[in-house]
Amino acid sequence: MTAASPRQGLRRTYGSYGGRFVAETLHAALDELENAFLDVVPTPAFQATLGKLLATYVGRPTPLFRAERLEKALDPNATVLARLYLKREDLAHTGAHKINNALAQVLLAKHMGKTRIIAETGAGQHGVATATACALLGLPCEIFMGEEDVARQAPNVGRMRLLGAKVHPVSSGSRTLKDAMNEALRDWVTNVATTHYCVGSAAGPHPYPELVARFQAVVGEESRAQLHAETGALPDAALACVGGGSNAIGLFRGFMQDASVALYGVEAAGEGIDTARHAATLNRGRAGVLHGAKSYVLCDAGGQIQEAHSVSAGLDYPGVGPEHAHLRDSKRATYLTATDAEALAETRRVARTEGLIVALETAHAFAKIGEVAEREAKLRGRAVTIVMCCSGRGDKDLETTLAALRAVEGE
């Protein structure tokens, strides 16, 4: 590394949120990662390699699909919803947007000379994406996953193992994503010289929130261009589900500067935001510090982090990326919630109206299309166009969705 000359680093804070709240041991590695991002990612060589992989391996650009039957199902006379477009991240290789970030990070880690990759995963989509990137680029991969998630997302555990990754079930705490991240951080602090920690959401200590957002911005940039090509205009609203918030921030990045585009995130309300069992961090949490960043967290009055709950393992997290905290406070984005029951019902509706079996995470966003259309149509006095990130496919959730289906329709 050449002597540090003054230059613009990656964005460190979002309003009063973000920052780098980690033990001293990790600071040098986080600086190294930020410098590598600034030095390597803009180079033509890196851009060419990543661009070719995104096109020929991931399948980018992913399509923008107009969901006309769902439009009619939601609003038969098009009084509030004029057009609904789905950004088909479920069609990306490995079945979700997670591969955009994982592939770019692992490629960057290889440029940095790292010889081992670790990652946390909730639903397993980020774990599968990281295992895939490591298989493709020839690096050993170890994934930390809560025991509860190992049980409810068995197909993804199998995929990671088939891809050659070692999966470490985490038995501490709530045995979900939060605890998987704790274990990944403990591994990283121990093996920091050789290992890159491939964080899966736009969360964690600086520079991860900005780095992940940059790698996911392709979702929003493509959506903007595709929608413009199709309609000649911007959408009225952009909508995505929010756990840590990486698919949402990726979509939002395409429209952040367009004041006319309303941004909507949907959090998991679990069994209801007035119960103790939800993951609605931005709606029911408070400012706090978890996993290296200041953001909203679910914690008690004594500052102990609380267990989140969602039927969707990918949204089951008591924190959220710091940029979302700022977008919430500044009112640039609006964060709604959908319950477990709403998400499960929505998976059936989307499957039967559009032939899409979507992830439970994604179903939370689908469940709020009608509400977003009503809110925006009322504000604008006309039916609106919505673009929604269809962030992932639902094969991994079949056991859960089929159990819910049996409860409703019998065997």
In this chain, which stretch among 74-82, 286-294, 331-339, 386-394 interacts with other proteins, using CB under 8 A? Answer: 286-294
Q: Which of 149, 314, 291, 298 is nearest to 240 (CA)?
A: 314
Of 17, 22, 34, 362, which lies in the binding site for other proteins, with binding defined by CB under 8 A?
22
In the region spanning residues 287 to 326, those forming contacts with other proteins, defined by CB under 8 A, are 287-292, 294, 297, 299, 301-305
Closest CB 304 distance from other proteins, rounded Å: 4
DSSP element (H, E) containing 196: strand 195-197
Does the footprint of other proteins cover residue 178 (CB under 8 A)? yes
Cβ–Cβ < 8 Å for 145, 180: yes
Total residue count of the chain as it appears in this document: 411
- For other proteins, the closer of residues 276 and 402 by Cβ is 276
Q: List the catalytic residue out of 98, 294, 368, 396.
A: 98
Told to check if 1 binds other proteins by CB under 8 A, we report: no
Helices (H), 6-162: 27-40, 44-53, 68-74, 98-111, 125-137, 147-152, 154-162
Choosing from 34, 142, 391, 396, which is the catalytic residue?
Answer: 391
- C-beta of residue 350 within 8 angstroms of C-beta of residue 156: no
| Phi and psi at residue 10, to the nearest 5° | -70, 155
The count of other CB atoms within 10 Å of the CB of residue 60 is: 19
Spatial CA neighbour of 207 closest among 350, 7, 31: 31
Among positions 24, 274, 409, 411, the unique one binding other proteins when judged by CB under 8 A: 24
Please identify which residue in the block is written with the tokens 């439009």: 71
Work out which of 29, 58, 217, 241 binds other proteins, going by CB under 8 A.
29
Query: Which listed residue (89, 120, 142, 183) is catalytic?
Result: 120
- Which of 59, 169, 173, 272 is the binder for other proteins (CB under 8 A)? 173
Which is closer to other proteins, CB of 22 or CB of 384? 22
Touching other proteins, residues 181-200 (CB under 8 A) = 182, 185-186, 189-193
Annotation marks residue 391 as catalytic: yes
Going from the C-alpha of 233 to that of each of 54, 89, 218, 382, the distances in angstroms are 26, 21, 19, 15
Please say whether the beta carbons of 49 and 351 come within 8 A: no
Toward other proteins, which CB reaches closer, 189 or 351? 189
Task: Please give the residues from 65 up to 104 whose contact with other proteins meets the rule CB under 8 A.
Answer: none
Binding to other proteins by residue 16, rule CB under 8 A? no
Q: Is there a contact between 267 and 336 (Cβ–Cβ < 8 Å)?
A: yes
Catalytic residues: 98, 120, 391
Which stretches of the chain bind other proteins, using CB under 8 A? 19-29, 31, 172-173, 178-179, 182, 185-186, 189-193, 286-292, 294, 297, 299, 301-305
